[in-house]
A = this chain, B = another copy of it.
């Protein structure tokens, strides 16, 4: 139990204040325990961080995996729209994990620059392939205009990245939802046949 609470507190605090900005004592206090108790569950600060990172990455990867397994029954448009809307949903449901992942993908502490790059590349490729499939499907369905697939993939991934960033500085839900829809609709206009 304590172990889990420690991980949750760590996820939130590391995500909000960064690795160096978060003292183990803060994490411990949030759980109602003294600092050394942490060492009963984790080797050291780095280990706690890595454990949390690994699980956040896992949950993010699982989400991407799920996304990419979107039933082929759906139309290409629905698949693509589903991706952005479920991404938002994921952020809303796992704000701590999301912030954590975003922070350390962009600004990894020195000691895990490589680890993070590798871990994230995996998610990236998975998503890229899924998007590619949807686009190709769209073209086959005739819903998407014939054009180089990569161009559309790049554009869609850019759309998702932009929305990722925006989620964290447009705190208003309505504004954000509007942005999601507007960006997607414009993308779709540029893509549909």
Size category of the A interface is: 35 or more
Max count, chain B CB within 10 A of own CB: residue among A150, A161, A163:
A161
Would you give 17 A-B contacts (Cβ < 8 Å), ordered by A?
A17-B110, A18-B107, A19-B21, A20-B20, A103-B106, A103-B107, A106-B165, A120-B169, A150-B178, A155-B187, A158-B162, A158-B179, A158-B182, A159-B159, A162-B163, A165-B165, A189-B191
Binary contact readout A31-71 vs B (1 if CB under 8 angstroms, 0 otherwise): 00000000000000000000000000000000000000000
Contacting B at CB under 8 A, from A160-193, are 160-166, 168-169, 178-179, 182-183, 185-191
- Near B by CB (< 8 A), chain A positions 121-170 give 150-152, 154-155, 157-166, 168-169
Chain A interface helix/strand/loop/mixed:
helix
Across chains A and B, which 7 residue pairs bring their CB atoms closest together, nearest first? Answer: A190-B190, A162-B162, A155-B186, A189-B190, A20-B20, A154-B182, A158-B162
How close is A83's CB to chain B, nearest CB, in angstroms?
14
In the bound complex, CA of A18 to CA of B16 (Å)? 13
Chain A 81-114, CB within 8 Å of chain B: the 1/0 string?
A: 0000000000000000000001101110110000
Bound-state Cα–Cα, A120 to B170, Å: 12
A163 to B164, CA, bound (A): 12
Is A185 touching B151 in the complex (CB atoms < 8 A)? yes
| Distance, CA A142 to CA B150, complexed state (A) | 29
Q: Is A166 a contact of B161 with CB atoms below 8 Å?
A: yes
